[in-house]
Amino acid sequence: MHAVSVCNVSTRLGRFCTGTASKLLPLTSLTGLRLRKQTFDGLVQRICSSFFSTSTVREKKMTSKKFEIAKRIQGTEKNVWVDISKLAVQQKSVNLGQGFPDFMAPEHVVQCLKDAVCSDTPGVHQYTRSFGHPRLVSALAQLYEPIFGRQIDPMTEILISIGGYGSLFSIIQGLVNPGDEVIIIEPFFDCYMPMVKAACGVPVFVPLRPTAAGQVTSSADWKLDESELSSKFNSKTKLIILNTPNNPLGKVFKKEELQVISDLCKKHDVVCIADEVYEWMTYDDNRHVRIATLPDMWERTVTIGSAGKTFSVTGWKLGWTIGPKHLVHCAQIMHQNCAYTCPTPMQEAVARGLEVEISRLGTPESYLTSLAKELQPKRDYLASVLAEVGMKPVVPQGGYFMMADYSNLVSDLPESDEAKDFRFVKWMTINKKLTVIPPTAFYSKEHEHMVDNYVRFCFIKKDSTLQQAAQILKHWND
């Protein structure tokens, strides 16, 4: 596989300047030109805005300070999902970007929604209890009691929110005071930082560091440096956010690693948010360990789960926060004053789906365990393709994403103020019709250099989609 220069792409750019985009940018304006910063940025921006909005040009400029975005969320405007997804749709690319399945959700779960929607119980179509539909919180308590090895009060120790996102938002806003420090382990799910900033908290970053190099490595090789981690804790530290299995890396934290975090939490009286939305997806002999089950950690941990991830229905957007009453209460108050409650038919459907799962636990029909079995061959296939084309995959222990180093594929990239991986992803989407996610979106500015040679692939996709992506990579220089 030879690296190609992507600066001389004008002829290839010509090919995609069709339809709406060509009205804005005639083909001839690019042919024969080297792709410079303004051209590339402008092109991507114009394509995106022309596709998704026709109103911007007509809008009256409102320059008064009063129309400015609130100070506490300034600097958080950029969003990788919005930007890259737009471009992928516009380019009709093979999309291994955002984390959602392109295959059908499990039949029994979809049936639960149909049954809920067709229910002639009037209440199913009306507001339900603010903190969670009673049938859903009861099912969750029943599912998680044996997992956490304790009784869970469905009314006071569980909150249902709009997705794992809503759970994160509610607990962060519900706990953080201005000036509180929040330790965020890198790479982190990108919304943690803006959510902490929106609460006027101070994000403090600590990166997982790669400890191995080679053609193929494992997410297990990315580790926290214990003394570096411990140096981040002080009297102002309120929270640490831990994501295991991790997105984007796929790292599944081992018990010993969690023990280090737990000891520091106890020593400095810190609360732990355990984002475990990929809890059911681990591979090989990797076991998902919950930090809340470590000694004396239940009292200081809230664990976050997602129906979207659990049942491969990301569009349903229901999440849960589970933990001790004194912490869940903080999230409940935020939630009641924000969304108030989540859609009842969705909650009813997830409740019914979980009841089915509870009855199937330990059997081959259990979706909670069969999904990982279905995903593992996809992971292995993608890893072998990436290794074959020289992309040095970091094979994940869990989740459904894989990081890989793209530096063997390209020698240089269009210049821009953007991080290298963003430029590469945009270039690849436009020129190769393959979309992935730039992982610097999961890093602070200070540490983004650690991954700007990487991209993140999502492999919860049909085999045929993964094969299409493989063809693109294998025929890179054709």
Ligand X SMILES: Cc1ncc(COP(=O)(O)O)c(C=O)c1O
Chain residues that interact with ligand X, rule: CB under 6 A: 99, 163-165, 189, 243, 247, 275, 277, 306, 308, 314, 317, 319
User: Which residue number places its CB atom closest to ligand X?
Assistant: 163
For ligand X, the closer of residues 51 and 81 by Cβ is: 81
- To ligand X, the closest distance from the beta carbon of 276 in angstroms equals 9
110-115 long-range contacts, CB within 8 A, separation 24+: 110/313, 112/348, 112/349, 112/350, 112/352, 112/353, 112/356, 113/316, 113/345, 113/346, 113/349, 115/349, 115/352
For ligand X, the closer of residues 40 and 192 by Cβ is: 192
For ligand X, the closer of residues 218 and 314 by Cβ is: 314
For ligand X, the closer of residues 199 and 277 by Cβ is: 277
> What is the distance between the alpha carbons of residues 145 and 353, in angstroms, rounded to a whole number?
17
- To ligand X, the closest distance from the beta carbon of 99 in angstroms equals 5
For ligand X, the closer of residues 303 and 306 by Cβ is: 306
Alpha-helical segments (H) within 25-105 = 37-52, 80-91
For ligand X, the closer of residues 47 and 402 by Cβ is: 402
Structure tokens at 279: 């809890």
Which residue in 270, 310, 354 sits closest to 105, CA to CA?
A: 310
- To ligand X, the closest distance from the beta carbon of 242 in angstroms equals 10
Region of 312 please: left (phi>0), alpha (psi -120 to 50) or beta.
left
For ligand X, the closer of residues 9 and 139 by Cβ is: 139
What sign for the dihedral angle of Cα 314, 318, 324, 326?
positive
Angle between helical axes of 367-388 and 463-474 (0-180°, round to 10): 10
**What letter does residue 176 receive in the DSSP assignment?**
P
For ligand X, the closer of residues 253 and 427 by Cβ is: 253
The number of angstroms, rounded, from the C-alpha of 211 to the middle of its chain's C-alpha atoms is 24
Contact 381, 169 (CB under 8 A): no
* DSSP three-state, residue 436: coil
Q: Which residues pair with 272 in a beta bridge?
A: 240, 301
- To ligand X, the closest distance from the beta carbon of 422 in angstroms equals 19
Q: Which amino acid is at 68?
A: E
Q: Which amino acid is at 196?
A: V
For ligand X, the closer of residues 206 and 473 by Cβ is: 206
- To ligand X, the closest distance from the beta carbon of 54 in angstroms equals 29
For ligand X, the closer of residues 39 and 314 by Cβ is: 314
- To ligand X, the closest distance from the beta carbon of 157 in angstroms equals 19
- To ligand X, the closest distance from the beta carbon of 95 in angstroms equals 15
> What is the distance between the alpha carbons of residues 248 and 243, in angstroms, rounded to a whole number?
10
Contact 243, 251 (CB under 8 A): no
Upstream peptide bond of 248 is cis (omega within 30 degrees of 0): yes
> What is the distance between the alpha carbons of residues 84 and 82, in angstroms, rounded to a whole number?
6
- To ligand X, the closest distance from the beta carbon of 45 in angstroms equals 25
Q: Which residues pair with 455 in a beta bridge?
A: 404
Which residue in 177, 323, 194 sits closest to 331, CA to CA?
A: 323
For ligand X, the closer of residues 189 and 443 by Cβ is: 189
